[in-house]
Amino acid sequence: MGAGHPECPERLQAIDDQLIASRISDYLQHREAPEADIAQIARVHTVNAISLVRDNVPPVGEYYPLDSDTLLNAHSWKAALRAAGAAVAATDAVIRGEVDNAFCSVRPPGHHARPSAPMGFCMFNNVAIAARHALEVHGLARVAIIDFDVHHGNGTEEAFADEPRVLMTSFFQHPFYPYTGAELAGPGHDHIVNVPVPAYTGGDVVRQLVTEKWLPALHAHQPQMLFISAGFDAHREDDMGQMGLVEADYAWITTQLMTIARLYANGRIVSCLEGGYNLSALGRSVAAHLRVLAELD
C-alpha cells in the first residue's frame, strides 16, 4: 500500500523467517493459495463491494484509495482473491481430512471488510467467506469465529449479526479503531460475545476474560468448526495498539481453542492472519500459535 505503510509485504517474510529459524517450518505442509471465485466472495460481499476492488485497480506504480488508509495497487485484486481463496481452500482441506488444521499466512487481512465495502487495510473478509463456505457448501450447522486482533472485527460482526449459526467471540482494545463492538446487545445477538478492554490490558486479564466469557459461550454453542481471526497486534511490542500480550498468551489462547475443537469439531480449525505490524513480534507470535496448532510441544 505504499512506502511506510504498516500493512507491508515484509510481514509475511518475517513470519516465514521466524518459522525457519524456530525449526517449525519443516513440520508444516505448505500449500499455494488459489484464487477465490466471485461466487464464494459474494456469499459475504455485495456486488458493489466486489466491484470497488475489481474495477479500480490502478496501473503499475500508482495507487487508488478505497479509504484513507486502504489503497489498491496494480496487484491488489489478485492478492485479495488469493487471500480469500486460501481461507476457502484451507476450509476444504480441513473438512476433507487432508490436514488437521490450517493457518493462512495471507495479506491483505480481512476482518474490517464490511459486506458493503472494504476498509481498514482489508479488501474482502477472508474468515467470513470461509465460515460461510463451511455452512453453505459443506453443510455444517454451527461454526465459531474467534477474533483476538487488537481491533474489533466490525466487518465480521456485521456479516453475521443476524446469523445464530455463527458464534463470534472477540476481545479488542476500546475505545479504539474502528470504534465499534461495544454497542451490540439485546435479544437475538447472544451469539456475539464482544469483550472490550482498555488500553494496557495485559495477558493475565485477557486469560481471565477468555475463561469467563469465551469458553462458556463456545461450550454452549458446540461449534463443528472453528475459525480464528489471528491478529497479533495486541502484542506489547506492537505500536499499532496499546495492549500487553506476549507470545505465551497467544499460545495459551490457541491451546484453549484446540481443546474446544477436539471436543466438538473433530479438531477442525482454520486460522487466518489479520493484524500484527511489529515484524519481530509478529513472527514470534505466529510461531507460538503454529507450534500449538501443529502440536509440536
Instruction: Dump strand ranges (E) for the chain.
Output: 64-67, 70-72, 102-104, 143-147, 166-173, 192-197, 226-230, 269-273
Is 64 in contact with 55 (CB distance < 8 Å)? no
297/293 Cα distance (integer angstroms)? 10
Q: 492472519: which residue's cell?
A: 273
Q: Which of 5, 30, 111, 112 is catalytic?
A: 112
Helix (H, G, I), strand (E, B) or coil at 160: helix
47-54 and 76-95 helices cross at what angle (nearest 10)?
A: 130
Is 82 in contact with 106 (CB distance < 8 Å)? yes
Q: Is 221 an active-site residue?
A: no
DSSP state of 158: H
Hey, which residues are catalytic here? 112
